Amino acid sequence: MRTLLAVWLATALMACQQGKNTRMAAAFAVHTHAISVYSGAQPTLDSVEVLLEGLDQEMIHMQVAAEAFDEMRFAALKQTYEQLASADSAVRNWPSQVVEVPGFEDSHTHGPGAHAHGPAHTHAPSPLSDLPPEEMLALQETQLAMIQAATDSLRAVSHRARTLLTTWKIDL
């Protein structure tokens, strides 16, 4: 009877461990997706500086040429500039908030076109590394939602900036 109980207990513990591993693997899959979303934003990030410069130059030009000053146009430029700078910052700062999934730190590469967090990325242990698997999965899902929202905002505001600048025929 004791042997049967010991076998049952060992089987139950292994099943529980496999459930934890499955949730951690799911958390790592979400983490990997979040990294690919971030990496996919690189072309937009590369164009932000040019857009910000174009918006800034147009605002300066409007202030200098007082006779051509249009308050609504200036307000649109200023608002777009501020939103673009904020969205750019949110995407660029996201890697510093990334929490690695324990046990998977070395399961991905950091080469070109791969899992690239940028210079702020390290594999240093995080206080959040001890989270239970369910909470780690939820954290990774939250990080994915954050980068998706930030990159969506960046793309939308970049498009708006391009539209404003091209509508008014400003060379980028």
Q: What is the pLDDT of residues 26-41, one digit of tens each?
A: 999 999 999 999 999 9
Buried/exposed 110-143: b ≥16 CB within 10 Å, e otherwise: eeeeebbbeeeeeeeeeeeeebebeebbebbbeb
**Helix, strand and coil percent figures for the chain, each rounded to 5:** 75, 0, 25
Asked if the structure places residue 79 within a domain, the reply is yes
Asked if the structure places residue 154 within a domain, the reply is yes
Asked if the structure places residue 135 within a domain, the reply is yes
Buried/exposed 34-53: b ≥16 CB within 10 Å, e otherwise: bbebbeebeebbeebeebbe
Q: For the segment 59-113, what is each residue's pLDDT rounded down to a tens digit?
A: 888 777 765 667 888 888 999 999 999 999 999 999 998 999 988 765 554 433 4
Asked if the structure places residue 11 within a domain, the reply is yes
- Band (pLDDT 50/70/90 cuts) for residue 116 is very low
Total structural domains within the chain: 1
Indicate if the pLDDT at residue 115 is higher than 60.
Answer: no
Asked if the structure places residue 111 within a domain, the reply is no
Domain range holding 47? 2-98+127-167
Asked if the structure places residue 74 within a domain, the reply is yes
Asked if the structure places residue 141 within a domain, the reply is yes
Asked if the structure places residue 103 within a domain, the reply is no
